[in-house]
Structure formats: C-alpha cells, structure tokens
C-alpha cells in the first residue's frame, strides 16, 4: 500500500513538471502611420566647391636691383596700371641717358655721311672725283644708317629696362602679402614679389559625375537664363551668399580615374567678400515639375547600407485558443526603397514605394517583418528611451554628387 502511495505521488509530481504554462501572447506594437503621397518639391542638389580667381599671376621682376619703394597696402584692391614696386632706377636711368646720347651721335654721323655721299655723287657726275672715293662715301653712308638703327635699338632696350624698374598692376584685383621688403635685392625671373588675382567676378569650381554632364550642358546652353536662383552657394558659416551665379566653363575632358568633370560657375563679387580658395557648397536649384514621393526621414531604417520602410498590410491570424477560428490583424512588411534628396525632415523616395501605401513613422525600432501592430496608440515622435527612433538615427546625410535627384 505504501508503495502505491509513493508511485501515485511520483506520478503527480511528474505530471506537474510536464505541464507548461501557455506562452504569453505577443502584444501588438503601437505605431503611427503615414499615407504615402506625391507632391511637387523644391530642393537643391549640393556639391562641395572652392572659390577660384578667374585670373591670377605671380609678380616677378624683369630687371635686377634693390627694392626702393613699395607703393600699395597688402591685401587690398588695386587698379590696373597702379604702381606697386620700384627697383633702384639709377643704373637704368643712366643707361637710358647714354643710349639716348648714342642715338644723337649716330644721327650726326649719318647726317655727315649723307652730305659726303651727296657731294661725291655730284662730283662724280662732273668726272671731278675718283670713283673709289664715291664708293667709300656710299659705304660710309650705309654704315652710318646701320649704326643709327643699332643705337635706336639700344635706346629702346634701355627704355624698356627703365620701365621694368617700376612694377605696375597688370589688371584690377586683390594683392596679397609682399614677399620682399624695402632694400631687398631681387633677381630676374626668380624672385616672387607678390601675387595678384582678380576678385570681381569670382569663380566657383566643383566636380560632377559624368552621368550628370548632359544635364549641366543643357543648363549652360539653354535654360539657365530662365531659372531664378539656379546656382547659389553656402558659405563656411552656413549663410547663403546673396548673389546668384551662371555656368562659365565646363572642362574639356572627363577625368578617367574618377569619372568626374570640373565645372566653373561665376558669381558677382562687388563687396569682395569671396576670396580665392574659400571652401563652400554649391547649390543647384532643382527643375523637377513631376511630383515626387516624399516620406518622413524617421520612417526609413538603414540595414547594412540599404534602406527600408515598413509597409502596413491587413491580413488574418488564427485564434491561439481555437485554431479553427481566425481574426483580422494588421502586420508590417519590410520594403527596400531607393532614396533621393533629403529635404529638411523628409526624404524623396525614388523607387520601392507607390502612392497610397501606408508606412510606419513612429515605433519602427520595435518592428520586424510580420510584426502585428495597433495604429494610433503611440505619441507622435516617440522613439524609445532616448526619444530617437532607428529611423532618426539611421538617416544618412545624402551626398548629392552620388544622388543628385535628377
């Protein structure tokens, strides 16, 4: 009898151990939805760029000597023909004066030779002079003419050297720091005195993909005159430059290594606020008139370099308490999308979504394909403990050079 009680007790314990409680029911995730729709959007394609002077030269001396005058203020605007530097002129002035005197002597010798030739020619006509004397007079006249030409050429060289002792601005522009000081010796062709560059207008250079070349050719040749604010630039302090630009030059060839081509846009610079070498962002106003699908950026999730949204789908599920019965449920399906330009809190979707679809915008951090959801129970903008959803954290800063939106 005792053995029977023991067996019954063991059986009861075994039965209790094998009985598992039913698994907890998975609760639907509370989310907010967004109905996908198309709309006309205004945005800018952005390209890293640098300002460049349309013309820039290094000032080098054409004559040797000591700097005796610096006639400008560094870093200021100078006018074409304005005096900038002066090299000791005394030697060059003396050389010019000597060359000028040599010209006068040569002119006198030529006058004398001409008179002798004329006299001997007349006497030869009267057979009153030896023919050899006339020949010598004619040769002396030719030599006097050649000597005058040589003296005049030497005078021009001396005058040029004297002119080169004063360095003038070759064009209107901004001049930089002087590389020499008063009293420094400068040598021909090697010493750099300064650098001067044009400052109004100013060029802005940027690179585009070869796939976009035709688009920019069209902008240059046909349509850029008709679009307001087509080209603008964002300065390093994030302010927008107040003047608009136009395409000036498209480079002659595509770089085969990078597949890019350089384009130059020219901007007015009346206040001289743009300086060569300035880093900026060139903005190209879009021309799109076709409606685009735009969704909130926080609805997008990045997984291994690809982008997804969660699309809502209505379906049915079996009743866990009675497998013969079903009930309607709303689930989500992960959908891969192709992104375009980011516009403030939204992003353009160029592929993967159709107008009218419903996507999850709040609560994406708790979802996976097949997750059951309940709509409209989540505070707007809720995203977990730190208030940021995966969509917020994962949204990239789009590189317009790779995805221009055109």
Q: Which of 321, 329, 317 minimizes the C-alpha distance to 374?
A: 329
Domains, in order of start, for the chain:
24-40+290-394 (2.40.420.20), 45-55+197-285 (2.40.30.170), 90-164 (1.10.287.470)
Tens of pLDDT, residues 223-276: 555 555 689 999 999 999 999 999 999 999 999 999 999 999 999 999 999 999
CA torsion through residues 245, 251, 256, 257, sign: negative
What's the length of the chain?
Answer: 406
- Higher-confidence residue of 222 and 108: namely 108
Give pTM, 2 decimals: 0.64
pLDDT of residue 324: 63
Q: Distance from first CA to last CA of the chain, Å, rounded?
A: 91
Mean pLDDT of the chain: 83
pLDDT in tens, 125-155: 888 878 888 889 889 989 999 999 999 999 9
Asked whether residue 382 carries a pLDDT value surpassing 60, the answer given is: no
- Comparing 378 with 26, the larger pLDDT belongs to 26
Q: Which two tokens mark 352? A: 């993967």
Would you state the pLDDT for residue 386?
36
Q: Is the pLDDT of residue 383 over 70?
A: no
Cα–Cα nearest to 232, from 222, 242, 218: 242
């Amino acid at each position: 009898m005792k053995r029977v009680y023991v067996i019954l007790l063991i059986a009861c314990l075994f039965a209790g151990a094998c009985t598992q409680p039913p698994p907890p029911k998975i609760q639907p995730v509370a989310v907010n939805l967004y109905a996908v729709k198309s709309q006309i959007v205004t945005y800018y394609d952005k390209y890293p760029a640098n300002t460049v002077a349309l013309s820039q030269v290094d000032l080098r001396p054409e004559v040797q000597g000591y700097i005796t005058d610096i006639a400008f203020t560094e870093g200021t605007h100078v006018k074409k023909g304005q005096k900038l530097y002066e090299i000791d002129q005394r030697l060059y002035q003396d050389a010019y004066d000597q060359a000028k005197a040599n010209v006068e002597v040569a002119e006198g010798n030529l006058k004398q030779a001409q008179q002798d030739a004329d006299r001997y020619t007349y006497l030869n006509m009267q057979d009153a002079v030896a023919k050899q004397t006339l020949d010598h007079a004619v040769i002396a006249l030719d030599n006097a003419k050649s000597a005058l030409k040589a003296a005049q050429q030497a005078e021009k060289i001396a005058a040029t050297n004297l002119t080169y002792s004063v360095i003038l601005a070759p064009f209107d522009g901004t001049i930089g720091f002087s590389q020499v000081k008063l009293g420094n010796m400068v040598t021909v062709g090697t010493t750099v005195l300064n650098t001067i560059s044009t400052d109004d207008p100013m060029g802005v250079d940027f690179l585009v993909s070869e796939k976009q070349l035709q688009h920019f050719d069209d902008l240059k040749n046909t349509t850029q005159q008709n679009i307001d604010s087509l080209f603008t630039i964002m300065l390093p302090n994030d302010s927008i430059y107040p003047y608009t630009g136009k395409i000036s030059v498209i480079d002659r060839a595509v770089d085969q290594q990078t597949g890019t081509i350089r384009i130059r846009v020219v901007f007015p610079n009346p206040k001289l606020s743009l300086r060569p070498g300035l880093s900026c962002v060139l903005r190209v106003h879009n021309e799109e008139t076709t409606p685009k699908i735009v969704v909130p950026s926080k609805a997008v999730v990045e997984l291994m370099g690809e982008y997804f949204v969660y699309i809502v789908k209505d379906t049915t599920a079996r009743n866990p308490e009675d497998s013969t019965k079903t009930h309607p449920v709303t689930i989500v399906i992960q959908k891969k999308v192709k992104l375009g330009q980011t516009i403030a809190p939204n992003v353009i979707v160029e592929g993967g979504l159709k107008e009218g679809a419903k996507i999850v915008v709040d609560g994406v951090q708790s979802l996976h394909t097949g997750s059951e959801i309940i709509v409209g129970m989540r505070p707007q903008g809720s995203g977990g403990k730190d208030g940021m959803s995966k969509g917020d954290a994962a949204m990239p800063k789009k590189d317009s050079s790779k995805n221009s939106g055109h």
